[in-house]
Amino acid sequence: MHEADVALRNLTYGLFVELGRAPTVDDLVARVGATPDEVWAGLRRLHDEHALVLQSHTRELRMANPFSAVPTAYRVFVDNRWWYANCAWDAFGVCAALHGDGRIESSCPDCGEPISVEVRDQQPDDDTLLFHCLVPAVRWWDDIVFT
């Protein structure tokens, strides 16, 4: 990964947290002084490197893992702000990335009952819950949205 792309990736993540939402191409253009096409080309390279995930049909971000740019079943409350995470792993990852305590809210995919987990000092308050990862590690990126 070229240094310029790493810098664009780090700017994208920084803006995600600063803005509380996924930055647009225009947001990034305003910060880097490049053209929209140049910024988009950089984001495409980062997508191909799996440093972030773009939407398939629009010039928008889908994931800046662990953050999701779109609503999901995993909501995380950290530092007085709600975030969407891409999955259960990423939900705990939002607390980790933000280095904060938080609350994860979701529902059991089987029965639909609400699930709420508090994370304090990197520990969940309910160890009876179970995490299930269906896709083996070697195939995570075959279809990252499904994973």
Partner 1 sequence: MNVFRSEGHIGRWLGSRVPGATLSVTKLCELAHAWWGDRIDPNWQPRTRGQNQAILIGLGLTDAFWNLSGADPDR
Residues near partner 1 (CB under 8 A) are 1, 6, 9-10, 13-14, 16-17, 49-51, 65-66, 87-99, 104, 106, 108-111, 113, 115, 117, 119, 122-124, 126-141, 147
| Cβ closest to partner 1, residue 11 vs residue 25 | 11
Contact of 59 with 39, CB cutoff 8 Å: no
Q: Cα(121)–Cα(101) distance, rounded to whole angstroms? A: 6
Among residues 36 and 109, whose Cβ is nearest to partner 1?
Answer: 109
Smallest distance from partner 1 to CB 133, Å: 5
Cα-Cα-Cα-Cα torsion 17, 133, 103, 119, nearest 10 degrees, comes to: -100
Cβ proximity to partner 1: between 58 and 123 the closer is 123
What minimum distance in Å lies between the beta carbon of 58 and partner 1?
23
Residue 36 or 70: the one with the smaller Cβ distance to partner 1 is 70
| Residue 77 to residue 98: CA distance in whole angstroms | 11
d(CA 104, CA 91): 7
The Cα–Cα gap between 51 and 53 comes to 7
Strands 102-107 and 114-120 turn out to be: antiparallel
Q: How far is the CB of 102 from partner 1 (least distance, A)?
A: 11
Least distance to partner 1, CB of residue 131, Å? 4
- The total of other beta-carbon atoms located within 10 Å of residue 141's CB is 11
Comparison of 20 and 36: residue with beta carbon closer to partner 1: 20
Tell me the closest approach of the beta carbon of residue 104 to partner 1, in angstroms: 8
